[in-house]
Structure 1
Amino acid sequence: MAKARTQYSCTECGHVASRWTGQCGGCQQWNTLVETVVEAPSANRYSQTPHQALAQTAPVLSLAEIEAVDVPRFGTGIDEFDRVLGGGLVAGGVVLIGGDPGIGKSTLLLQALANLSRIKRVLYVSGEESGAQVALRARRLAVDAPELKLQAEIQLEKILGTVAELKPEVVVVDSIQTVYSDALTSAPGSVAQVRECAAQLTRMGKQNGVTVILVGHVTKEGALAGPRVLEHIVDTVLYFEGDTQSSFRLVRAFKNRFGAVNELGVFAMTDKGLKGVSNPSALFLSQHGNQVAGSCVMVTQEGTRPLLVEVQALVDNSPLPNARRLSVGLEQNRLAMLLAVAHRHAGIACFDQDVFINAVGGVKITEPAADLAVLLAIHSSMRNKPLPRGLVVFGEVGLAGEIRPAPRGQERLREAAKLGFSLAMIPKANAPKQAIEGMRVVPVERIEQAFAALREIND
């Protein structure tokens, strides 16, 4: 009997090598090559059964001949989930959702399918839990969905056969790493199996107008496991974020062909499942009895939603020759740049001080509009003097010391005013043309002007 030929595939990018090397030649990642069996080519593999047939060739049309129509959506009954999806699910759309184990992916999808089962035909395919385990979770969450169809199966051909028989409108596969195809001999979860099964399920959804939701595992670094092509072939990629020890969860969209990206949904984990949080800004603001030094509230923009986040700073004498710079929730390299700008243009020296920055609530701030809030929090901690009560800030700080405008400035100010903030320090380019009721706006152009205005307010 001939020995099976093997090759080495990268778990990150799918690059194939004939022998093992420590570094992948495709994506340059280390220790990502795993041994797989070379699959023998089979004739007409994609047309073995009717539901696996390739789509008919579409006619070639000019762009002017194609009618652009809005894609109809249907809601899941969970407002925060619909927000992240861009307004709801799309017929024929493929959604990939990933997150840490125990974060609440299966719970959220079970709740969404329970709501959808009242108006649509749905199918929940569980590859990690038995039917009894899923039913036990549904009972614990008090989910009443007698029309929800459940199948505990991991073989792709049987799943596709069930879809062809029941003709559901929404299918959830939990998870794609457990599904395998008989056309391949490699184990479930391998690069070849994940790529093949995802492609077959995507093809089925596109041909039949079935909405497919795939649950994906993540690596220890937090990225989706499997080949990167998995994120390319789907329409929407969602990530669950948050600490499993905390009751709050964030669902963030990183790709969406049918809506805006960088949308954020906020949930609270309760004994009855995940509940949407209508006022997420309250989660990221500490409830101090009195004003404390080193605390500054900023308005960040997550997609179309403005959020108020408290940025805390602690500046202390360093016992080490090299002072420490630690940032949680904000980019650490940007912190070093901001400290250099403050020293050069405002005379604030922190070379012998340990500087610690934290975004309250575990939120991650990626936009540069947090620069001004970080510098004001550092300045407050160094002087050990709280910032004025009711102050909210935002603005990007450049290397020349200028304060650049942030997008959607009016929406940020209106959100802050709605939550009771009465004073705003913002870039001059974001100054509103009409006064905002109950709010005093202090526009600044440079970082030294911001510190001077702060001293005038305190005095």
Structure 2
Amino acid sequence: MAKNKTVYACAACGAISSKWAGQCGDCGAWNTLSEQVEVAAASRGGRFGGYTGSASPVTRLTAVAPGQVERWPTGAGELDRVLGGGLVPGSVVLLGGDPGIGKSTLLTQTLCLLAQTRPALYVTGEESLEQVSLRAQRLGLGDSPLALLAETQVERIIATAEKEKPQVMVVDSVQTLYTEQLQSAPGGVSQVRESAAQLTRFAKQTGTALFLVGHVTKDGALAGPRVLEHMVDAVLYFEGESDGRYRLVRAVKNRFGAVNELGVFAMTESGLKEVKNPSAIFLSRTSDPVPGSLVTATWEGTRPLLVEVQALVDETKAGNPRRVAVGLDGNRIAMLLAVLHRHGGVITYDQDVFLNVVGGVRVLETGADLPQLLAVLSSLRNRPLDTGLISFGEVGLAGELRPVPNGQDRLKEAAKHGFKRAIVPAANAPRTPIANMQVQAVKSLAEALAVAFD
């Protein structure tokens, strides 16, 4: 019988080496070699040099009847929204976020609520059982029948889960797990990949809904191999400032729902509370108009969200003007300022430009182009815009305004919050009038500037 052997694979280029080295000999990347087990082939006698065996049956797409996906409500409407309507049996959800952001708090609340109606198991590899119990007591959920397990070996976790038969399980966190099949330390690339693979197979075979908690790097990406995100069904990011009140859960991958869906929570003394009307939270502005402030309607997943864009333009004291963006795409801002100069006649090459989205929200869609430029010009000219004004639209390099998706729904959301006037691209002009709102549809950036500062 052929034996398995240990090899080292490069995470950057995939090259295989028989021994570990600090630098990959093929691509030159540093500290990318990780241990993995290579299974020796028992036979290579097939027609194409592969394994011998019978062919698997093939099913035509037309013969597969679409079924209704079963979902389990988690008890938190915002989390259900991000998941696509609730937990799907057999799904694997990866939740990542900065330390102290509230990942364990959110999952403790979720499992304590789910444990009231179905078997649930919370596996902790970073905390003791007493620490998990203290958190549940602080959240007012100490009487929940939730099962707890403090373990880091994957084989023991799976054996316990097969005995307890939970329908929902949390593993906190995947970076603390290890498997007996590998000799490397927990947290390594190979250990994370193999541990996640075994847990995923268990979830699929038993129909257990599984949450995996993942650490993030200093760049904000999930730590470990990139294949970890491919193995799971959904990837959620928990965002927000650790000293702030609001937390955002964003879906960047979801096989059972829409991506880029956003859930908003407020951190309180009794845990995380869902915010059902986030637009009202992010629009808590002063009643007096101030220069450089404008509200835009962005689209997050399946709903509109109103956020405030702020700009500060100040004369630069250095040779190169600064372009600083918080919650916006910094590279796109430089391009928009060039369009503002060429097609709007506004010079900013001797000015520092600072842009911010209030509330810690990240707005990366192109619909925020026009509001950014209007806010910049408002700050530059020290002319406040009307507090009842809202705007959205993509700005092209030729100075034209391009439409954005779901324009009608954005305008309705703005009207619901009391906005009386809107500047939008001509193609986003509403097909039916919006009650109590004056919509000004413009075709170019120059026309939008003239309308806004008339």
Aligned to 1:33: 32
Per the alignment, residue 166 of structure 1 pairs with 164
Question: How far apart, in 1, do the equivalents of 2:120 and 2:346 lie?
Answer: 60
Cα deviation, 1:210-248, whole Å, max 9, x if unaligned, reads: 111111111111111111111001000001111101111
Q: What SS does structure 2 have at the residue aligned with 1:361?
A: coil
Aligned equivalents of 1:139 and 1:254: distance in 2?
A: 32
- Cα deviation code 1:106-136 (max 9, x no counterpart): 1100100111111111111111111111001
The match for 1:72 is: 70
CA contact (8 A) 2:97 2:238 kept: yes
Aligned to 2:247: 249
Shift of residue 61, structure 1, vs aligned partner: 1.2
Question: How many angstroms does 1:144 deviate by?
Answer: 4.2
Q: 2:127 is matched with which residue: 115, 126, 129?
A: 129
Residue type of the alignment partner of 1:165:
K
Q: 2:313 aligns with which of 300, 312, 315?
A: 315
- Tell me if the contact between 2:233 and 2:253 (Cα under 8 Å) persists in the aligned partners: yes
Q: Root-mean-square deviation (CA), in Å?
A: 2.1
| Alpha-carbon spacing, 1:146–1:326, altered in 2? closer, same or farther (3 Å) | closer
8 Å Cα contact 2:73-2:86 kept in structure 1:
yes
Alpha carbons of structure 1 residues 136 and 231: separation in structure 2 relative to 1, 3 Å: same
Matched AA of 1:33: T
- How far the C-alpha of 1:283 sits from its partner, in A, is 3.0
Change (3 A) 1:73 1:455: same
Please name the residue that 2:21 is paired with: 20
User: What TM-score, normalized by structure 2, do the two folds share?
Assistant: 0.92
Question: Corresponding residue for 2:182?
Answer: 184
Residue pairs, 1:202-221, within 5 angstroms: 202-221=200-219
Q: Of residues 102, 109, 112 in structure 2, which corresponds to 1:111? A: 109
Which residue does 1:50 correspond to in 2? none
Alignment of 1:56-67 (within 5 A): 59-67=57-65
- Distance apart, 1:289 and its partner CA: 3.5
Instruction: Return the letter of the residue paired with 2:266.
Output: A
Q: Which AA in structure 1 matches 2:21?
A: W
Give the secondary structure class of the aligned counterpart of 1:260. coil
Q: Give the structure 1 partner of residue 258 of structure 2.
A: 260
Deviation at 1:145, TM superposition (A): 4.3
Unpaired segments of 5 or more residues in structure 2? 43-54
Q: C-alpha distance in 1, partners of 2:213/2:143?
A: 21
Pair 1:441-2:439 in alignment: yes
Residue 97 (1) aligns with residue 77 (2):
no
Match in the other structure for 1:296: 294
Compute the displacement of 1:180 (Å): 1.1
Question: How many equivalent residue pairs?
Answer: 437
Alpha carbons 1:14, 1:228 under 8 Å: kept: no
User: Deviations 1:166-191 (Å, cap 9, x if unpaired)?
Assistant: 11111111111111111222111111
Identity across aligned pairs (percent)?
Answer: 57
**C-alpha distance in structure 2 between counterparts of 1:126 and 1:183, whole Å:** 21
Deviations 1:8-28 (A, max 9, x none): 5556787644553557967x8
Q: Is the 8 A contact 2:6 2:38 kept in 1?
A: no
Q: Give the direction of change, closer, same or farther, for the CA distance of 1:15–1:417 in structure 2 (3 Å limit).
A: farther
Gaps of 5+ in 1: 45-56
The Cα shift of 1:282 comes to 2.7
Shift of 1:31: 3.8
1:434 match: secondary structure: coil
The TM-score, its normalising length taken from structure 1, stands at: 0.91
Counterparts of 1:12 and 1:117 in 2: how far apart (Å)? 42
Say if 2:22 and 2:31, in contact at 8 Å, map to a contact too: no
Q: Deviations over 1:89-116 (max 9, x none)?
A: 0001111111111111111001001111
SS at match of 1:278: coil
Q: Which one-letter code corresponds to 1:322 in the other structure? A: N
**1: CA distance, partners of 2:256 / 2:349:** 48
Q: Distance in 1 between matches of 2:325 and 2:113?
A: 41
- Cα deviations across residues 255-295 of structure 1 (Å, max 9, x unaligned)? 00011100000111111111101111133234213100011
Does structure 2 retain, via aligned residues, the 8 Å contact 1:12–1:227? no
CA contact (8 A) 1:14 1:191 kept: no
Deviation string for 1:351-409 (max 9, x for gaps)?
11111111111111110100100110011111101001200000000001000001000
SS in 1 for 2:171: strand
Does the 8 A contact of 2:11 with 2:34 survive in 1?
Answer: no
1:41-64 CA-partner distances (Å, limit 9, x unpaired): 5999xxxxxxxxxxxx97421111
2:88 equivalent to 1:87? no
CA contact (8 A) 2:323 2:353 kept: yes
SS in 2 for 1:362: coil
